[in-house]
Structure 1
Amino acid sequence: MKVAVTGATSDFGTAILPVLLADPEIDTVIALSRRPLRLEHPKLESVRMDVRDPGIEDVFRGCEAVVHLAFVVEEIRDKTATHDINLRGSRNVIDSAYRAGALRVVIASSINAYGPELRPKPVDEDVYPAGDPDRYYFHDKAEVEHYAEWWLRRHPGEMAISMLRPTYIIGPDFSNDGIDQLTGLVGTFPRADEAAYQFLHQRDMADAFHRSVKQDLVGPFNLGPRDWVGVRELAAMQGQRMFDVPERPAVAAANIAFRLGLSAFSGQWVTAGETVVDSTRLTKATGWAPTLTARESAAVMILLQGKSLVRGEDALGRRIACEAALEPASEFVGVDGRGLEHVQIPAATGAVHAEIHTARSSGATVVLPAPPGLHARYLTPLAVEFAENGVDVVVVDLPGHGLSTGKRGHATAAGVHDALAVAVGYARIRFGSAPHVVRVGDATERRSRPGRRWSWVACSRSHAPVNPADGLLPRRLRYEGGLEHLPHAHSARDIVALARADRVAS
């Protein structure tokens, strides 16, 4: 199978391409973009081309499916150029794919095609995509869908065109002004009591596109989780101050700021949240289902932005959700979280996160607090080594670190003591023996050049740098002590020796 993807360097393309390349039934992926493609893969062919270029037909020739992602999302001043890329480019992709003999086209639309108004209940695909002529993105998404529907009526049964309407996408490959606004110190929304979002993780989005590439789907399909998060609840999750503002003055202020170059977006993006949708049709057609809830995805978004989850009730508990937040660190460390558990332990400071590594044949139990400034994932390789050598391990995130709740990077001595106490209590109940609490190193911050942060943690193998792009690492560290009295351990042999010494002493 041969697949072409336009807009390959976009956030959507960055998330979707690896999934297509990992499919053994797909032999070739042609990535079209105007910018250089950073990804390299034996099955990947990169083509520098504008989607308005008539020569795109030759590129599509021999492709079974075309995924159309190219679209102007981030606002530019020239709206004529915006509409030309979005509308003429999309028409050219559909017509060229047909002439090239493609069997199906999958278009990345948006729930914004429905328009900006709030609705009393989730909508399905029977609701007309009216867009909004005063908002370029809403208008263009709706117009592309209208052209696709017109084309399908003119060519019944000749080529399948599906239009996936994603909700708000978050994930390690997604960074935009909207996410920055949603996770800022202050939030401002028209009708804040009603505004809501359906946050969808990029992995779930990419899964839906992958399924659509391999099936003849026709027409629009909503793509989102089953639940949604109100903006006031989103603010409460992260300790954000939320204000309800009148829409017209907010639009006028945003337009002025955009014209003066003080804002990256104009009043065309000032809305009271988004339309909440029902994605049952896509589930029935493809079997697709989101792995994360909107609330879990919202928590992941907050954490990846370097913000805190301040309430214990919002802490990530399910393994798949925890691993989604840890993905940048996991890729850097080279582990995927298999063979371990995640738990959130109630504490006075909120919720204390711990990674649990269970040995097949236990000779000792150890509680390892992650050094200040780091989090448990950077100790996972060491914990795996311990477990392989017969040691049950509980790796603990300090308050305000990793997946524990609390102000990011702020760990008081009392909070550290409380976190260790609840972790020890958990380990004693879980493994039936008194655990040893040891530290495996201390985090020290060094700057190799401005803007780039590195930390080192001493372990049994080597001094390992952390990922400077990991949003879970605190930008500022306020650590007041609490670990200095703990003994050091650098290997499983040290832990087993401690256990033997205790048995001899007893």
Structure 2
Amino acid sequence: MTLRIAVTGATSDFARAILPGLLDDDDVESVVGIARRRTPLVHPKLQSVRSDIRSPEMEHIFRGCDVVVHLAFVVEELRDKRTTHDINQRGSRNVLDSAYRAGVRRMVIASSINAYGPDIHDEPLTEKDYPAGDPDRYYFHDKAEVEHYAEWWLRRHPGEMAVSMLRPTYIIGPDFSNDGIDQFTSTIGAFPQADRASYQFLHQHDLADAFHRAVKQDLDGPYNVGPRDWTGVRELAAMQGQKLFDVPERAAVVAANIAFRLGLTPFSGQWVTAGEPVVDSTALHTATGWSPTLTSRECAAIMILLQGRPILLPEYALERDAACEAALAPASAVVGVAAGEHVQLRTPDGSVHCELHRGGGRRTIVLPARPGSHARYCTPLAVELRERGYDVVAVDPPGHGLSTGPRGRVDQAQFDRAVTEAVEYARRTFGGPISIVVDEGSRSPSPDDPLVPKRVRGRVSVATYISARTIDDVIAHIGPAGAATSQAASSAPQTIRG
């Protein structure tokens, strides 16, 4: 099976999440990326076409394509709602009709759970619940209207072209940045019905997986796309120490409308809601086998961390490997490697994140990251050491990386307690002699990495630990991984002064 796929809205955040997986698929021959601007992504399979989805040339662009993925939609609020509705509704109708006339076999439309409307419900909604939208909220209304047209079209053309509508919950990830995420992670939050308001946060990798599956099989009708759990806004506030206020919805809408008219905020009262409806995504799992790899709670923590905000409470620290790697993705792209297992160690100061590399040798090395950095920048050295047979435990200082605590705040006592806890964990896990080594040759942290604190508060010295720039420096200090050691050497960590 070889597929030629057309993707509208190819410069959107959705496209940034979805396109890489399609382009890496051997079953995909080529992708036509359609947007009003040229797509910045460069790939030998990708052809960039500049066009408006309302244009009659859509039919010509779609000819020869097997699948159309429709992502183009006005999300960021425009003052001109007539233009907004024209792009969203007439443009979407044109995409569907043009795809059919061009002989496309399958179409996947990016809808939203906002098509259900803004009301909170006591039970999770399923595809059997009607997408009522909300005529007073342009985004909710337009998503519902596009679905209504697609459903009408399917009844008029049974079996002629598969048309599915995927309804994602709230998307987070390194490619997603918007006013909503800024509000979720601000130091002060305000929500109507704060005791009831909740969201289902979904990682962009899980979103991309859902679209990828829909592209490769015939599906008709709507499908919810969300995690099994949900996160209340009060819990979200507790995770990061946000001050949260419960505000009357009507007053909040009026205030947002005034601020929008005055140009003080990028959104009006049309976006002020008491959370979002919770949905059940069983239908998509049954049809395609799709399941989310991350929970809403994990995604909430990732969102907070990717915004440079702290996770303050140990119970919210990321633990599962998949969640940790999702949060570390920007740093992994910088160092060029993603490896290791992840553990969280409880200390009097909170939770300390460690990255484990099992080399199966008789020596263990604890690699504490310097303040101002985090353990992922030690991963290249850790991988080299593992390949030489060393067991390695890389450590995030408190307030850094995936460890809890105010961002960048760590003093000598906190740092030493974190290292001591990592040494004790290494002794319990691996046994044998343990050496503490500071990686002086690691890559400088990227200023664009949100897990690197903008400022380090506190003075920490690492002069009591071994200092090394290369793996040869490490071996010169502590010897090869399989070397025999005395009982005395194995009873305490080596803290040779550099």
Q: Is the 8 A contact 1:391 1:492 kept in 2?
A: no
Q: 1:499 Cα shift?
A: 3.5
- 1:430 — aligned with what? 429
Summarize the Cα distance change of 1:484–1:499 in structure 2 as closer, same or farther, 3 Å threshold: closer
- 1:447 — aligned with what? none
- 1:80 — aligned with what? 82
Deviations 1:131-153, CA, capped at 9 Å, x for gaps = 00000000000000001011111
Q: Is the 8 A contact 1:235 1:241 kept in 2?
A: yes
Q: 1:386 Cα shift?
A: 1.4
- 1:53 — aligned with what? 55
Q: For 1:97 and 1:468, how far apart are their aligned partners in 2?
A: 44
Matched, 1:397 2:414: no
Q: 1:159 Cα shift?
A: 0.9
Q: 1:502 Cα shift?
A: 10
Q: What pairs up with 1:283-302 in 2 under 5 angstroms? A: 283-302=285-304
User: What letter corresponds to residue 254 of structure 1 in structure 2?
Assistant: A
Q: Is the 8 A contact 1:364 1:496 kept in 2?
A: no
Q: 1:364 Cα shift?
A: 2.0
Name which of 324, 327, 331 aligns with 1:325. 327
- 2:449 — aligned with what? 470
- 1:451 — aligned with what? none
Q: What pairs up with 1:303-318 in 2 under 5 angstroms? A: 303-318=305-320
User: What letter corresponds to residue 386 of structure 1 in structure 2?
Assistant: L
Q: Is the 8 A contact 1:188 1:243 kept in 2?
A: yes
- 1:341 — aligned with what? 341
Q: What pairs up with 1:86-485 in 2 under 5 angstroms? A: 86-337=88-339, 340-360=340-360, 362-441=361-440, 458-459=441-442, 464-485=443-464
- 1:67 — aligned with what? 69
Percent identity (aligned)? 64
Q: 1:282 Cα shift?
A: 0.5
Moved more, 158-167 or 483-492: 483-492
User: What letter corresponds to residue 112 of structure 2 in structure 1?
Assistant: S
User: What letter corresponds to residue 170 of structure 1 in structure 2?
Assistant: I
Deviations 1:283-302, CA, capped at 9 Å, x for gaps = 00000000001111111111
User: What letter corresponds to residue 197 of structure 2 in structure 1?
Assistant: A
3-state SS in 2 of match to 1:162: strand
Summarize the Cα distance change of 1:502–1:475 in structure 2 as closer, same or farther, 3 Å threshold: farther
- 1:444 — aligned with what? none
Q: 1:503 Cα shift?
A: 4.2
- 2:468 — aligned with what? 489
Deviations 1:176-208, CA, capped at 9 Å, x for gaps = 000000000011000000000000000000000
Q: Is the 8 A contact 1:366 1:495 kept in 2?
A: no
Q: 1:336 Cα shift?
A: 2.5
Q: Which runs of 4+ in 1 moved over 4 A?
A: 500-506
Q: For 2:371 and 2:81, how far apart are their aligned partners in 1?
A: 48
Q: 1:482 Cα shift?
A: 4.3
Q: For 2:102 and 2:354, how far apart are their aligned partners in 1?
A: 54
User: What letter corresponds to residue 423 of structure 1 in structure 2?
Assistant: A
Q: 1:36 Cα shift?
A: 1.8
Q: For 2:476 and 2:52, how far apart are their aligned partners in 1?
A: 65
User: What letter corresponds to residue 460 of structure 2 in structure 1?
Assistant: G
User: What letter corresponds to residue 282 of structure 1 in structure 2?
Assistant: L
Name which of 28, 32, 35 aligns with 1:33. 35
- 1:446 — aligned with what? none
Deviations 1:239-258, CA, capped at 9 Å, x for gaps = 11111000011000000111
Q: Is the 8 A contact 1:391 1:496 kept in 2?
A: no
Q: Is the 8 A contact 2:445 2:452 kept in 1?
A: no
Q: Is the 8 A contact 1:391 1:495 kept in 2?
A: no
The count of residues paired between Structure 1 and Structure 2 equals 483
Q: For 2:448 and 2:249, how far apart are their aligned partners in 1?
A: 36
User: What letter corresponds to residue 269 of structure 1 in structure 2?
Assistant: W
Q: For 1:498 and 1:465, how far apart are their aligned partners in 2?
A: 23
User: What letter corresponds to residue 469 of structure 1 in structure 2?
Assistant: D
Deviations 1:392-444, CA, capped at 9 Å, x for gaps = 11100000000001111111222111101100100111111241112122xxx
Q: Is the 8 A contact 1:195 1:273 kept in 2?
A: yes
Q: 1:498 Cα shift?
A: 3.7
Q: For 2:444 and 2:70, how far apart are their aligned partners in 1?
A: 38
Q: 1:358 Cα shift?
A: 1.4
What's the TM-score, normalizing by structure 1? 0.93
Residue ranges of structure 1 left out of the alignment (5+ in a row): 442-457
Q: For 1:438 and 1:39, how far apart are their aligned partners in 2?
A: 40
Q: 1:385 Cα shift?
A: 1.2
User: What letter corresponds to residue 413 of structure 1 in structure 2?
Assistant: Q
Matched, 1:18 2:20: yes
Deviations 1:158-188, CA, capped at 9 Å, x for gaps = 1111000000000000000000000000110
Q: 1:112 Cα shift?
A: 0.3
3-state SS in 2 of match to 1:428: helix
Q: Is the 8 A contact 2:124 2:278 kept in 1?
A: yes
**CA RMSD, 1 decimal:** 1.4
Deviations 1:237-283, CA, capped at 9 Å, x for gaps = 11111110000110000001111111010000000000000000000
Q: For 2:98 and 2:371, how far apart are their aligned partners in 1?
A: 56
Deviations 1:296-340, CA, capped at 9 Å, x for gaps = 111111110101110111111110110000001111111132xx2
Q: For 1:480 and 1:466, how far apart are their aligned partners in 2?
A: 18
3-state SS in 2 of match to 1:232: helix
Q: For 1:289 and 1:391, how far apart are their aligned partners in 2?
A: 36
Q: For 1:272 and 1:26, how far apart are their aligned partners in 2?
A: 41
- 1:452 — aligned with what? none
Q: 1:155 Cα shift?
A: 1.0
